[in-house]
């Protein structure tokens, strides 16, 4: 495997140095209107809706391999491409793209730390309008690394070697905010609201490594465990997934069905 061009979490200064590099693809997963006004030079735009199936109840599950192959090919991705993703919210939708690439075993990708917020406020160059790259033939063959389904979790409830992170708000986690037939959380899951990992004064970057590690340790989420993340549709928890990967957690998985599926399934237990 070739060496990655950039680290998993890349700072704006470092990305600017590599603009125009061979095999670098920058993908803006923010709103189309913001992209057209100002984006990282060379970035292509991806409609975030194409990353999810939209099929009820698991609306956040992945589309078919064929659909995703078409989407990723339209961006100009090849097996050698280093993909840098960003959005306007700190990394939820960008993380969803990177998680998708990880499920397919794509080796090289990065999250722009702070996204377009840090890029713009710190004075980095921008472009307007639309950028298109020649399409490729990127064949998606799902390896399921980083992916689990409802049955996988049901078999592991109560396993002390498994830590489940609910990345939703405290109100959703407790059941006060009901967004499915059932309210609450997966039994044994701990709550880590995805925005808690963001450093607001530092333009939505991830908080410092030692702060994140302590936060996770306090919740009992340690690197020796298999860690499974979820939210409502695996949008917010995609950010949590990338955070854990960046911290070097060796066994991280995500449940894209998330609460939209779990909370609407008659056979699933809740707390």
Per-residue pLDDT tens over the stretch 188-230: 999 999 999 999 999 999 999 999 999 999 999 999 999 999 9
Q: Taking residues 235-247, what's their average pLDDT?
A: 98
* pLDDT for residue 69 is more than 90: yes
Per-residue pLDDT tens over the stretch 24-56: 999 999 999 999 999 999 999 999 999 999 999
Using pLDDT thresholds of 50, 70 and 90, give the confidence band for residue 182: very high
Question: Where in the sequence of the chain do the CATH 3.40.250.10 domains occur?
Answer: 9-121, 150-262
Q: Within 13 A of 99's CA, how many CA atoms are on the CB side?
A: 33
* pLDDT for residue 1 is more than 60: no
Considering the chain, what percentage of its residues have pLDDT values greater than 90? 95
Distance CA 247, CA 14 (A): 19
Fold of 150-262: Oxidized Rhodanese; domain 1 (3.40.250)
CATH of 9-121, picked from 1.20.1250.20, 3.30.70.1140, 3.40.250.10, 3.40.50.720, is 3.40.250.10
pLDDT of residue 3: 82
Q: Within 13 A of 151's CA, how many CA atoms are on the CB side?
A: 0
DSSP 8-state secondary structure symbol assigned to residue 71 = H
Q: How high does pLDDT run on average in the chain?
A: 96
pTM value surpassing 0.85: yes
Task: Using alpha carbons, select from 271, 219, 111, 85 the residue that is nearest to residue 227.
Answer: 219
Q: Which residues are catalytic?
A: 231
pLDDT of residue 153: 98
Q: Taking residues 236-262, what's their average pLDDT?
A: 98
Using pLDDT thresholds of 50, 70 and 90, give the confidence band for residue 145: confident
Using pLDDT thresholds of 50, 70 and 90, give the confidence band for residue 59: very high
The mean-pLDDT minimum among 133-137, 154-158, 168-172 falls in 133-137
Angstrom distances, CA of residue 79 to CA of 71, 106, 216:
15, 7, 33
């Amino acid at each position: 495997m070739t060496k990655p061009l950039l680290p998993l979490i890349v700072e704006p200064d470092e990305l600017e140095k590599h603009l125009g590099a061979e095999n670098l693809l920058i993908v803006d997963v923010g709103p189309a209107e913001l992209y057209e006004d100002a984006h990282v030079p060379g970035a292509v735009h991806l409609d975030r809706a194409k990353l999810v199936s939209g099929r009820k109840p698991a609306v956040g599950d992945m589309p078919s391999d064929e659909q995703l192959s078409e989407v990723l090919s339209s961006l100009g991705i090849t097996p050698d491409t280093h993909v840098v993703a960003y959005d306007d919210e700190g990394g939820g939708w960008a993380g969803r793209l990177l998680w998708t690439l990880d499920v397919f075993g794509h080796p090289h990708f990065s999250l722009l730390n702070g996204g377009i917020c840090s890029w713009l406020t710190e004075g980095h160059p921008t472009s307007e309008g639309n950028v298109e790259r020649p399409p490729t033939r990127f064949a998606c063959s799902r390896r399921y690394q980083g992916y689990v389904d409802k049955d996988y979790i049901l078999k592991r409830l109560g396993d002390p070697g498994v830590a489940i992170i609910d990345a939703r708000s405290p109100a959703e986690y407790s059941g006060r905010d009901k967004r499915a037939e059932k309210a609450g959380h997966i039994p044994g899951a701990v709550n880590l609201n995805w925005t808690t990992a963001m450093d607001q004064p530092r333009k939505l970057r991830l908080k410092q490594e030692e702060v994140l590690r302590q936060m996770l340790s306090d919740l009992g989420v340690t690197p020796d465990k298999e860690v499974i993340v979820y939210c409502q549709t695996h949008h917010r928890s995609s950010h949590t997934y990338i955070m854990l990967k960046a911290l070097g957690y060796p066994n991280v998985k995500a449940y894209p069905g998330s609460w939209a599926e779990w909370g609407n399934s008659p056979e699933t237990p809740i707390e």
